[in-house]
Amino acid sequence: MTKIDLWLLAALYFGGIVDATISSNYSQAILSSGTVKLGDWQDAFDRASRFVAKLSTDEKLSIVTGNGASNYSALLGSDSSANPINYYFVTAWPAGLAMSMTWNKDAVYGQGKSLGAEFKGKGMNVAFAPTVQPLGRSPWGGRSGESYGPDSYLSGIMAGRLASGMAASGVTPSAKHYVLNEQETNRQGSNVGGGMGGGAGEHAGGPPGMQRRNAGNSTSPSSGEAYSVEVGDKAFHETYLAPFYDAVKAGVGGAMCSMQKINGSYGCENQDTLARYLKVELGFPGYVHPDAGAQHTSFDSANAGLDYGSSSYWNNSTLVVGIANGTFSAARLDDMVIRQLMGHFKHKQEVYPDHVGYTDNVDVRGKHGDLARQYAAESLVLLKNTASALPLRSKKAISIFGAHAAPRLMGPNTALTVMSGVGATMDGHMSQNGGSAMSSAAFLVTPFQAFNERAQADGFMLKWWLNNTVVKSSGGGMQISDGSGTEISETTLGIADGAEACVVFLNAWAGEGGDRSELANAESDRLVNYVADNCNNTIVVVNTVGPRLLDQWATHDNVTGILYGGPLGQSSGHAINDVLFGDVNPSGRLVHTIAKNESDYDQNTQISEDSVISFSEGNYIDYKYFDQKNSTPRYEFGFGLSYTAFKYGSKIDIAPDSQLLSNEFATGNLAVGGREDLWDIVAEVNIDVSNVGKVAGAEVAQLYVEFPASANEPIRQLRGFHKVEIEPGKTEKAQFQLRRRDLSVWNVEKQEWQVVRGDYKFIVGSSSRDLKASSILTI
Ligand SMILES: *[C@@H]1O[C@H](CO)[C@@H](O)[C@H](O)[C@H]1NC(C)=O
Ligand SMILES: *[C@@H]1O[C@H](CO)[C@@H](O)[C@H](O)[C@H]1NC(C)=O
Ligand SMILES: *[C@@H]1O[C@H](CO)[C@@H](O)[C@H](O)[C@H]1NC(C)=O
Ligand SMILES: *[C@@H]1O[C@H](CO)[C@@H](O)[C@H](O)[C@H]1NC(C)=O
Ligand SMILES: *[C@@H]1O[C@H](CO)[C@@H](O)[C@H](O)[C@H]1NC(C)=O
Ligand SMILES: *[C@@H]1O[C@H](CO)[C@@H](O)[C@H](O)[C@H]1NC(C)=O
Ligand SMILES: *[C@@H]1O[C@H](CO)[C@@H](O)[C@H](O)[C@H]1NC(C)=O
Ligand SMILES: *[C@@H]1O[C@H](CO)[C@@H](O)[C@H](O)[C@H]1NC(C)=O
Ligand SMILES: *[C@@H]1O[C@H](CO)[C@@H](O)[C@H](O)[C@H]1NC(C)=O
Ligand SMILES: *[C@@H]1O[C@H](CO)[C@@H](O)[C@H](O)[C@H]1NC(C)=O
Ligand SMILES: *[C@@H]1O[C@H](CO)[C@@H](O)[C@H](O)[C@H]1NC(C)=O
């Protein structure tokens, strides 16, 4: 049966039967089919249905192409999870990657709630956040700085918390990019018809003036075809769909379909991914809208499940004629409108702030600046700290090095452009991703500013070298300085002279539209080594948009400290200094693996210019790949130090719910977020953690699960984490609640989530390799 026939069937069908099996019957994806239990979206559905019943076809067409009708005004949506893009007087938040590195669910929720309020304050109905994917399958991917790291469990939890927070603020969150958009190169074919941003109308997706050009490689235009991803059904469900389950359950009312192809058809016209998986299996109740230029057809997109599109594809001569001649259906058109209105009614947006212009004097920041600084500091990961180099205490003289310490000459904000061909480092302090997650910072506190404030307050002598280039001779004139006073020799070494600590700053930069050409930077690394060769207390601060290799100097004896973070937003410099000087005890943990060598990463995940990209590594990305290969990274997933020390109890308590676990397969009703029983808590696990150091601190206890061999899973997988604040000398419980889905694997034959029978090893660790205690549960 063709997809068109299936929607025709849907047109005939308008009942309330709940069909519990997910089949290729795509009529189930129509909300009014009753296939999916709507729960707390039911009221929104009822109201949207009553509203749509009064509209003419012309009005419905108007709504699905991004305009208003009757008393519904055009939907306004905009990027990103970093800030409402392009607006004055908003908070420039830490990016998704940094937020994930906090391992603090409450922080991510807190950001969502405050950021959501900023979108709402500007009159935006929909925020294009969270960025669930790219996950970061490839360390070379250019856009992983926006999302929550390559572990699908962590990514799902964090995306869900951001979405919940945003929804609580009254804005409709929209998850992107659905799905499998793991590299930027050739993500889009050259056939870029249709609208920009959301794909329709002036108000539709991005703000007017959003410039996008063909992604991939500006110097060599793509062949005209976007790449197509192929991935096995098991990994598709377990690694790539899994975090979207969390986002849907948490209340996203939108989903942005991605530019590239899946199994040969574009992300915005793939009936499997949109109708079958997203709308039925995950029970997504909202509307699907296209990434910029991601709609390519009239009927294929509408029939596959795109709900919002461009009038250059959807108009009287296409969709309306299609309803008359049977190529399209009136029921599907109603469904498109209803889906768009779900968020409107759920969040009571009938009464909503007026939309304001970019520069209008509407300040929506409240006290969010304090949170942005607090979260940024909490996200920083202390990777190395020898001879108690950190925190910096009672120093007489400190020198700082690197262009990343100080502002970029033209400020932190950039033009909205895709990032292909852009340098791999930012020449100045890097605090945000590029592309549509670019910063709208009203100000930026750089390390240079923060160090000057600190020098003023603490009284130390500060010297700086704001350049990545090592300069060994000051040239010209005769040097008469004896180096003992403030008179400097104007060389890199001259600046290091007399310093009790040398802090070197470096960044790695990328963003939407372009991938990374390097994972380390020769010039920055040369600077670190040169400083370290001459300064026995060299501390390196790295801000990066993805995995950044450190082996060029990480084991250098004089590199006594390494602080590693994502893009930290407007208070970056303060946040870094809060940790360097010990006002904040570091508690961030890595969300990706830092290899010893670029060649240690899975070469199958290299950026590819092939027209078909096979994710043949399946579930084995990031630490799961390193574990499988028994390859030792420099710093593993989950790793991070503290200024205090923690000790784990030797015993793990596991309290399984045998009743719930007796069902091998998920059998619950299809509901928003998938089968209802996938969310049942089937086991609770806890362990004691003590702070045996001298200062208060937070430990991130991590629960890894080894599945029975027959489940055919990676060696160990994160299935819980708990960030516990512990006073010195005290012991607290780290607790983990496992949902049925956390112990389930996708059974390809049965097309269902299954809790395989056998022995499960529960392991608690302080990283994916520093494992402290374990216990077996037999199911
Ligand atoms: C599709 O599902 C609907 C509702 O569950 C049902 O009425 C219809 O008969 C099904 N069609 C096919 C071809 O299975
Ligand atoms: C339009 O107004 C009517 C009457 O107040 C209300 O029932 C309906 O929900 C409104 N429609 C929208 C889209 O807000
Ligand atoms: C792609 O096609 C293959 C082969 O038909 C199928 O097994 C797989 O589930 C499809 N993937 C998606 C995401 O639809
Ligand atoms: C209607 O859509 C068709 C198909 O994309 C397009 O060729 C045509 O120009 C559109 N008409 C208008 C008025 O935009
Ligand atoms: C579509 O057709 C309707 C009814 O004929 C007409 O009122 C409307 O203006 C047309 N829309 C466009 C965009 O041409
Ligand atoms: C119905 O009309 C559309 C738009 O003109 C056209 O593309 C399609 O081929 C027609 N289908 C049939 C079955 O006539
Ligand atoms: C673009 O592609 C060409 C040819 O593959 C390559 O030589 C060039 O380095 C690429 N440029 C960028 C910025 O990726
Ligand atoms: C850094 O120093 C080098 C060598 O003196 C110089 O060529 C370069 O322009 C400097 N960079 C900046 C950003 O000042
Ligand atoms: C460490 O720094 C000191 C200067 O403080 C220098 O003499 C020594 O050679 C350096 N060590 C290494 C391994 O470079
Ligand atoms: C670094 O060298 C100085 C003398 O130049 C010495 O006093 C200090 O103890 C050394 N620090 C470390 C960490 O080795
Ligand atoms: C990485 O490995 C390659 C060979 O596999 C070697 O040439 C290179 O020096 C290594 N790089 C580092 C930083 O160790």
CB 435 within 8 A of CB 528: no
pLDDT digits (tens, 9 = 90+) for 675-697: 999 999 999 999 999 999 999 99
Compute the distance from residue 418 Cα to the ligand 7 centre, in Å. Answer: 15
pLDDT digits (tens, 9 = 90+) for 733-764: 999 999 999 999 999 999 999 999 999 999 99
207 pLDDT tier (thresholds 50, 70, 90) = very low
198 pLDDT tier (thresholds 50, 70, 90) = very low
pLDDT for res 369: 98
* Atom number of ligand 3 nearest to Cα 230: 1
Q: State percent of the chain over pLDDT 70.
A: 91
Q: Tell me which residue has tokens 């009571």.
A: 348
pLDDT for res 480: 56
In degrees and rounded to multiples of 5, residue 150 shows phi and psi of -75, -5
Question: Side chain identity at 474, as an amino acid letter?
Answer: S
Compute the distance from residue 78 Cα to the ligand 5 centre, in Å. Answer: 28
Residue nearest to atom 3 of ligand 2 (CA): 71
Residue 420 Cβ contacting ligand 7 at under 6 Å: yes
Report how far residue 375's alpha carbon sits from residue 95's, in angstroms, rounded to the nearest whole number. Answer: 10
Residue 469 Cβ contacting ligand 8 at under 6 Å: yes
419 pLDDT tier (thresholds 50, 70, 90) = confident
Residue 473 Cβ contacting ligand 8 at under 6 Å: no
Joined together, the tokens standing for residue 256 give 């942005």
pLDDT digits (tens, 9 = 90+) for 448-461: 999 999 999 999 99
pLDDT for res 477: 58
CA-based nearest residue to 191, from 217, 219, 215? 215
Q: State percent of the chain over pLDDT 90.
A: 89
CB 511 within 8 A of CB 437: yes
Half-sphere exposure of 580 (CA within 13 A, CB side): 30
Half-sphere exposure of 757 (CA within 13 A, CB side): 3
pLDDT for res 479: 56
Query: CA angle, 652 as apex, 648 and 653 as ends, to 5°?
Result: 135
Ligand nearest to the CA of 557: 9
Residue nearest to atom 10 of ligand 5 (CA): 316
Least confident span in 6-10, 147-151, 504-508: 6-10
Joined together, the tokens standing for residue 678 give 């996938």
13 pLDDT tier (thresholds 50, 70, 90) = very low
Residue 40 Cβ contacting ligand 5 at under 6 Å: no
Q: Is the pLDDT of residue 194 over 90?
A: no
Compute the distance from residue 220 Cα to the ligand 7 centre, in Å. Answer: 6
pLDDT for res 474: 82
Report how far residue 761's alpha carbon sits from residue 706's, in angstroms, rounded to the nearest whole number. Answer: 5
Residue 316 Cβ contacting ligand 5 at under 6 Å: yes
Compute the distance from residue 602 Cα to the ligand 3 centre, in Å. Answer: 23
pLDDT for res 673: 98
Q: Is the pLDDT of residue 287 over 90?
A: yes
Residue 537 Cβ contacting ligand 10 at under 6 Å: yes
CA distances from 589 to 160, 530, 721 (A): 19, 28, 11
CB 232 within 8 A of CB 712: no
DSSP 8-state secondary structure symbol assigned to residue 226: -
CB 379 within 8 A of CB 588: yes
pLDDT digits (tens, 9 = 90+) for 710-739: 999 999 999 999 999 999 999 999 999 999
Active site residue 360: no
pLDDT for res 604: 97
Residue 674 Cβ contacting ligand 6 at under 6 Å: no
pLDDT for res 403: 98
Residue 388 Cβ contacting ligand 5 at under 6 Å: no
CA-based nearest residue to 175, from 155, 154, 151? 155
Q: Quickly count: other Cβ atoms within 10 Å of residue 384's Cβ.
A: 21
Report how far residue 308's alpha carbon sits from residue 305's, in angstroms, rounded to the nearest whole number. Answer: 9
Report how far residue 284's alpha carbon sits from residue 275's, in angstroms, rounded to the nearest whole number. Answer: 9
Residue nearest to atom 9 of ligand 3 (CA): 233
Residue 297 Cβ contacting ligand 6 at under 6 Å: no
**Which residues fall within 8 angstroms of residue 448, CB to CB, at 6 or more apart?**
400, 405, 406, 407, 429, 464, 466, 573
With residue 614 as reference, give the H or E element that holds it. strand 612-614
Relative to beta strand 697-706, strand 717-726 is antiparallel
Residue nearest to atom 6 of ligand 9 (CA): 534
Query: CA angle, 661 as apex, 659 and 664 as ends, to 5°?
Result: 125
**For residues 269-277, average pLDDT:** 96
417 pLDDT tier (thresholds 50, 70, 90) = confident
Compute the distance from residue 427 Cα to the ligand 3 centre, in Å. Answer: 43
In degrees and rounded to multiples of 5, residue 692 shows phi and psi of -105, 10
DSSP 8-state secondary structure symbol assigned to residue 448: H
Exposure b/e, 332-365, CB count within 10 A at least 16 = b: bbbbbbbbbbbbbbbbebeebeeebeeeeebebb
Residue nearest to atom 14 of ligand 1 (CA): 25
Q: Is the pLDDT of residue 405 over 80?
A: yes
pLDDT for res 20: 39
Compute the distance from residue 459 Cα to the ligand 10 centre, in Å. Answer: 21
CB 119 within 8 A of CB 171: yes
483 pLDDT tier (thresholds 50, 70, 90) = low
pLDDT for res 418: 84
204 pLDDT tier (thresholds 50, 70, 90) = very low
Report how far residue 513's alpha carbon sits from residue 509's, in angstroms, rounded to the nearest whole number. Answer: 13
12 pLDDT tier (thresholds 50, 70, 90) = very low
DSSP 8-state secondary structure symbol assigned to residue 287: E
Residue nearest to atom 7 of ligand 5 (CA): 58
**For residues 362-375, average pLDDT:** 98
Compute the distance from residue 539 Cα to the ligand 9 centre, in Å. Answer: 14
Report how far residue 333's alpha carbon sits from residue 56's, in angstroms, rounded to the nearest whole number. Answer: 11
Query: Looking at the chain, how many residues does it have?
Result: 779
Joined together, the tokens standing for residue 259 give 């530019």
Q: Tell me which residue has tokens 């056939």.
A: 191
DSSP 8-state secondary structure symbol assigned to residue 730: -
**For residues 367-376, average pLDDT:** 98
Could you give the 3-state DSSP secondary structure of residue 400? Answer: strand
CA-based nearest residue to 155, from 236, 241, 43, 229? 241
Q: Which of 47, 71, 344 to mutate to test the pocket of ligand 2 (most atoms within 8 A of CB)?
A: 71
Residue 471 Cβ contacting ligand 8 at under 6 Å: yes
Residue 324 Cβ contacting ligand 6 at under 6 Å: no
Residue 321 Cβ contacting ligand 6 at under 6 Å: yes
Joined together, the tokens standing for residue 690 give 């003590």
Q: Which of 315, 325, 329 to mutate to test the pocket of ligand 6 (most atoms within 8 A of CB)?
A: 325
Residue 474 Cβ contacting ligand 10 at under 6 Å: no
Mean pLDDT of the chain: 92
Half-sphere exposure of 418 (CA within 13 A, CB side): 20
Report how far residue 63's alpha carbon sits from residue 59's, in angstroms, rounded to the nearest whole number. Answer: 6
pLDDT digits (tens, 9 = 90+) for 127-176: 999 999 999 999 999 999 999 999 999 999 999 999 999 999 999 999 99
Compute the distance from residue 544 Cα to the ligand 7 centre, in Å. Answer: 22
Ligand nearest to the CA of 402: 8
476 pLDDT tier (thresholds 50, 70, 90) = low
pLDDT digits (tens, 9 = 90+) for 44-100: 999 999 999 999 999 999 999 999 999 999 999 999 999 999 999 999 999 999 999
Q: Tell me which residue has tokens 């991803």.
A: 229
* Atom number of ligand 2 nearest to Cα 341: 13
Compute the distance from residue 327 Cα to the ligand 6 centre, in Å. Answer: 6
CB 668 within 8 A of CB 676: yes
CA distances from 338 to 188, 588, 741 (A): 29, 42, 29
Residue nearest to atom 6 of ligand 3 (CA): 233
Question: Side chain identity at 415, as an amino acid letter?
Answer: A
Choose the catalytic residue: 291, 525, 578, 627.
291
